[in-house]
Structure 1
Amino acid sequence: MKATEIRNYFNYINGEWTASSTGDVKESINPANTHEIVGYYQHSSLDDLNKAVSGAKEAQKQWKKLSGSARGDYLFKAASILERRLDEIAETMTREMGKTFPEAKGETARGAAILRYYAGEGMRSVGEVIPSTDSSALMFTTRVPLGVVGVITPWNFPVAIPIWKMAPALIYGNTVVLKPASETAVTCAKVIECFVEAGLPAGVINMLTGPGSVIGQGLAQHPDVDGITFTGSNGVGKRIGQAALARGAKYQLEMGGKNPVIVENDADLDLAVEATISGGLRSTGQKCTATSRVIVQREVYEPFKERMLQKLQEITVGDGMKEGTWMGPCANESQLETVVSYIQKGIEEGAALIFGGKRLQGPGYENGFFVEPTVFENVASNMTIAQEEIFGPVLALMKADSIEEALALANDVEYGLSASIFTTNISRMLAFINEMDAGLIRINAESAGVEMQAPFGGMKQSSSHSREQGRAAIEFFTSIKTVFIK
């Protein structure tokens, strides 16, 4: 099937593609050209959710009894199918949420790699032997699945994030009910098609689309959902966490970031400029790990700024499917309006706009949600654009006279997801590693990105303090059972 075919995408519930009980569907549109419909997705109800959870609960009884290697075989098959359909799914992603086609291809390939990584988890240790004080006894630990896991995912990584949540949930013996972001419902449906083709038993994986206030909150409150893993905004995340906590369900929240880059006076400025632009503006700044604040030591501030402004001139904004496009549109109209409002707030609060700052219009832009890459300087730490997550291509430049001042500025926000520093000085690197309040620390590399085999998560208001990806995922998706044999 070609990515350009417009059709109705159904919910996948208990082994069947089904229309929602409401009979209502919504359009998914291309943010680069709002006249183009990518497909139609279901506007589901609590009745649909109840069916999905019921199917997942029943399926989990047998799924958990399979060996880890048997469950892993399904993930291996899904990875191969995803890889075979890579271009099609990547094109759908670009047309549905706007990131460039090369970025979408990279993300889809990453999804296949994540599946293979967790398929291998089925053959790894799930416990340890512990010496008992009773010499005639055997004591050890093992791990058991939670049961039914609700997965709520955002639109900015519509392949990678659902997979990095679903794959560990499945390999450890849980069944899944997935609620993807409506903006990328078509892309997610195509990912689920890969699991279906891989032959997963009915009910093991379920997907339904619809409003977060109904389906997302319904998952958090459902008595038969044993765990909730969520990535999205802080406000929604806290409501999800509170609902899960109220009934004693396990929850995992990955939320916002206001990620800093520190550029020291001994830094490779060309490398720092390249990484700042890539980390801050690729995917139109719509990454939770995107660079937002750029804290530059005063004596190299001007040369850094000049090199960055020169490089920004080379950025091509446009339709992500067109060759040569470096940055696509905002994912939807609401996000565009949010970005534009923050730019206006920066101007009103006295920051100096030195690059971009406007919505792009005219030929090629008239039907899309395009905004220019934007840079402010003279940004004080208490300004809105230095404190709140913008989730768009906006950089705030700040000056510091020392590593101590730079770290104080970097930590002066409620978030703590990722952070990077550019320096060749080992003592500054160590100070940054030790003093930076962030879950992901990167040295001489952009703030965005984490490898799939490494734990990922934030501090402060960025996270519920759990970790995703790598072996760390086992901590959320399982419970430890201690066994004593006499």
Structure 2
Amino acid sequence: MNITTDVKTYFNFVNGAWEPSSTGESVESINPANKQEIVGYVQKSSKDDLDRAVVAANAAQSEWKNLSGAARGDFLYKAANILENRLDEIAETMTKEMGKTFPEAKGETARGVAILRYYAGEGMRKIGDVIPSTDSEALMFTSRTPLGVVGVITPWNFPVAIPVWKMAPALIYGNTVVLKPAGETGVTAAKVIECFAEAGFPDGVVNMVNGAGSVIGQGIIDHPDIHGITFTGSDVVGKQVGQGALARGAKYQLEMGGKNPVIVANDADLNLAVDATISGGLKSTGQKCTATSRVIVQSDVYDEFKERLLAKVKELKVGNGLEQETWMGPCASENQLNTILSYIEKGKTEGATLLYGGERVESEGMKNGFYVQPAVFEDVNSRMAIAQEEIFGPVLTLMKVDTVEEALQVANDSKFGLSASIFTTNVSHMLSFINDMDAGLVRINAESAGVELQAPFGGMKQSSSHSREQGQAAIEFFTSIKTVFVKG
């Protein structure tokens, strides 16, 4: 039976106030390291709750956009400082709510602070260009205008960084926002919004409504007064978001799945490649859209790479993310655990060889958690589901090739194109990889799962809607260009 003593209920944030949902219902958020522990309760909201948030955001938008960029930036700076002051508390909540280790959670929260400060500075940067006119007596230039109200739909795997990297640029460019966070990490999201509330944002500029995707998520897709939708999640749901937004003429931005390869050439630094493969594929329990899943190794070094990889994977400590010795925490939910286990069974059925792991961990003290040993397969080919479908878990698939050219063909044999990396000391191989790899993020001698906040981020093929997030590229989604012609 779940423990419920002294557990807080977190409300929606609408028009500058915390309020319960109109349904009067809430949903528990449980600790994946111990399903008997409730982290908190979040609202089970209705369409009426979303409507109130959108009305508030619409009412606030005109005054907000008319502030100077520097004034809007001041609010982001204040939110950054408050988030930084609460870093350990919010990171601990994240670990309790979705399972990633405490050091990873602290790193993610610190990244949220840095994102807020970066976009606060955007308020002082240019938003247009002067363009020569054919009329010598005229002035022609471009400016930027915000979309209006932006609906923000975020996943559970980065419950601080992803909401912040969507909300911060939306806000600095003059939009107001309605956030629908993942229910699994609704408590963490509420604590992030507390930082915005404490920073004193005007009423209605920042709003959060918790609830089911079928109700609140679909409501954002359909709402006529939401002018832009930014979404991160699965490709299946993302396509629904895009189709719905397109049908009513709303702007949309989708960041979806990945099946990210790493290529290990025969001239690679194998120790570096092994460490980066493990870090890129297994940290956060493999629950990253940029996580390494396909490991494509040249035959000359395949056996040595495999031996070194297995030796290090076997040393990894699986456990509660709040325990100092833990390297990999639990899966984020029981559904996620079951999905991962089903893919591991499917890999066996398809004829892949399970070299290590893949079992649920139910040792003493871990029976109530959603733990799985990281899995390593070999004898994998591109026709198998475990080589094509996003597992979103700690599963590495080894694939042997003879040449780097063949490795690139295998790497591109996927409907996804989010991130990819190669390990080589050969400049020709590097250039071929940069030119021929169909991915939005390509990295040389580094893990596939790294991205810096000041750089554009997004995928190719079915990994995204071909727009880019983060860095100065974010202005392209969150604003429209206005061309101005002035003649005295």
Shorter chain as denominator, the TM-score bin is over 0.9
User: Contact (CA 8 Å) 1:318, 1:364: kept in 2 or not?
Assistant: no
Instruction: Give deviations 1:326-379, integer Å, cap 9, x for gaps.
Output: 000000011000000000000000000001010111202100000001000000
Q: Does 2:11 correspond to 1:15?
A: no
**Which residue is 1:235 aligned to?**
236
**Which residue is 1:377 aligned to?**
378
**Which residue is 2:470 aligned to?**
469
SS of equivalent to 1:36: strand
Alignment of 1:77-116 (within 5 A): 77-116=78-117
The whole-number CA distance in structure 2 between the counterparts of 1:256 and 1:7 is 33
The one-letter amino acid paired with 1:469 is Q
**Which residue is 1:125 aligned to?**
126
Instruction: Give deviations 1:375-405, integer Å, cap 9, x for gaps.
Output: 0000011100000000000000001111110
User: Contact (CA 8 Å) 1:439, 1:457: kept in 2 or not?
Assistant: yes
Query: Identity of counterpart residues, as a percentage?
Result: 75
**Which residue is 1:260 aligned to?**
261
**Which residue is 1:388 aligned to?**
389
**Which residue is 2:450 aligned to?**
449
**Which residue is 2:178 aligned to?**
177
The whole-number CA distance in structure 2 between the counterparts of 1:6 and 1:402 is 57
**Which residue is 1:158 aligned to?**
159
**Which residue is 2:292 aligned to?**
291
Instruction: Give deviations 1:117-139, integer Å, cap 9, x for gaps.
Output: 00000000000000000000000
SS of equivalent to 1:294: strand
Instruction: Give deviations 1:16-55, integer Å, cap 9, x for gaps.
Output: 1000000000100000000000000000000000000000
**Which residue is 2:426 aligned to?**
425
Q: CA deviation at 1:457?
A: 0.1
- What is the aligned residue count? 483
Instruction: Give deviations 1:84-117, integer Å, cap 9, x for gaps.
Output: 0000000000000000000000000000000000
The whole-number CA distance in structure 2 between the counterparts of 1:313 and 1:350 is 23
Q: Does 2:232 correspond to 1:195?
A: no
The one-letter amino acid paired with 1:379 is V
The one-letter amino acid paired with 1:314 is E
User: Contact (CA 8 Å) 1:139, 1:484: kept in 2 or not?
Assistant: yes
Q: CA deviation at 1:5?
A: 6.1
Q: CA deviation at 1:243?
A: 0.6
Distance 1:132 1:444, change over 3 A: same
SS of equivalent to 2:130: coil
**Which residue is 1:46 aligned to?**
47
Alignment of 1:470-485 (within 5 A): 470-485=471-486
**Which residue is 1:326 aligned to?**
327
Alignment of 1:391-402 (within 5 A): 391-402=392-403
User: Contact (CA 8 Å) 1:284, 1:329: kept in 2 or not?
Assistant: yes
Q: CA deviation at 1:407?
A: 0.3
The one-letter amino acid paired with 1:430 is L
SS of equivalent to 2:112: helix
The whole-number CA distance in structure 1 between the counterparts of 2:259 and 2:236 is 15
SS of equivalent to 2:376: strand
The whole-number CA distance in structure 1 between the counterparts of 2:64 and 2:209 is 21
The one-letter amino acid paired with 2:217 is G
SS of equivalent to 2:91: helix
SS of equivalent to 1:293: strand
SS of equivalent to 1:235: helix
The one-letter amino acid paired with 1:128 is D
Alignment of 1:311-390 (within 5 A): 311-390=312-391
User: Contact (CA 8 Å) 1:351, 1:377: kept in 2 or not?
Assistant: yes
**Which residue is 2:67 aligned to?**
66
The one-letter amino acid paired with 1:373 is P
The whole-number CA distance in structure 2 between the counterparts of 1:364 and 1:323 is 15
Q: Supply the RMSD in Å over aligned alpha carbons.
A: 0.7
SS of equivalent to 1:144: strand
Alignment of 1:127-146 (within 5 A): 127-146=128-147
The whole-number CA distance in structure 2 between the counterparts of 1:217 and 1:427 is 48
User: Contact (CA 8 Å) 1:43, 1:211: kept in 2 or not?
Assistant: yes
SS of equivalent to 2:140: strand
Instruction: Give deviations 1:294-337, integer Å, cap 9, x for gaps.
Output: 00000000000000011112100000001110000000011000
Q: Does 2:449 correspond to 1:439?
A: no
The whole-number CA distance in structure 2 between the counterparts of 1:364 and 1:265 is 43
The one-letter amino acid paired with 1:248 is G
The one-letter amino acid paired with 1:9 is Y
Instruction: Give deviations 1:418-450, integer Å, cap 9, x for gaps.
Output: 000000000000000000000000000000020
The whole-number CA distance in structure 2 between the counterparts of 1:226 and 1:40 is 30
Structure 2 stretches of 5 or more lacking a match?
Answer: none
The whole-number CA distance in structure 2 between the counterparts of 1:482 and 1:379 is 53
The one-letter amino acid paired with 2:253 is Q
SS of equivalent to 1:21: coil
Q: CA deviation at 1:61?
A: 1.1
**Which residue is 2:301 aligned to?**
300
TM-score, reference length from structure 2 = 0.99
Alignment of 1:194-213 (within 5 A): 194-213=195-214
Instruction: Give deviations 1:253-288, integer Å, cap 9, x for gaps.
Output: 000000000000000000000000000000000000
User: Contact (CA 8 Å) 1:376, 1:396: kept in 2 or not?
Assistant: yes
User: Contact (CA 8 Å) 1:354, 1:375: kept in 2 or not?
Assistant: yes
The whole-number CA distance in structure 1 between the counterparts of 2:462 and 2:371 is 29
TM-score, reference length from structure 1 = 0.99
**Which residue is 2:415 aligned to?**
414
Q: Which moved more, 1:308-317 or 1:222-231?
A: 308-317
The whole-number CA distance in structure 2 between the counterparts of 1:410 and 1:211 is 36
Large movers: runs of 4+ above 2 Å:
none
The whole-number CA distance in structure 1 between the counterparts of 2:262 and 2:107 is 24
**Which residue is 2:219 aligned to?**
218
SS of equivalent to 1:412: coil
The whole-number CA distance in structure 1 between the counterparts of 2:385 and 2:194 is 42
SS of equivalent to 1:457: coil
The one-letter amino acid paired with 1:225 is I
Instruction: Give deviations 1:115-172, integer Å, cap 9, x for gaps.
Output: 0000000000000000000000000000000000000000000000000000000000
The whole-number CA distance in structure 2 between the counterparts of 1:235 and 1:265 is 37
SS of equivalent to 1:154: coil
SS of equivalent to 1:243: helix
User: Contact (CA 8 Å) 1:27, 1:37: kept in 2 or not?
Assistant: yes
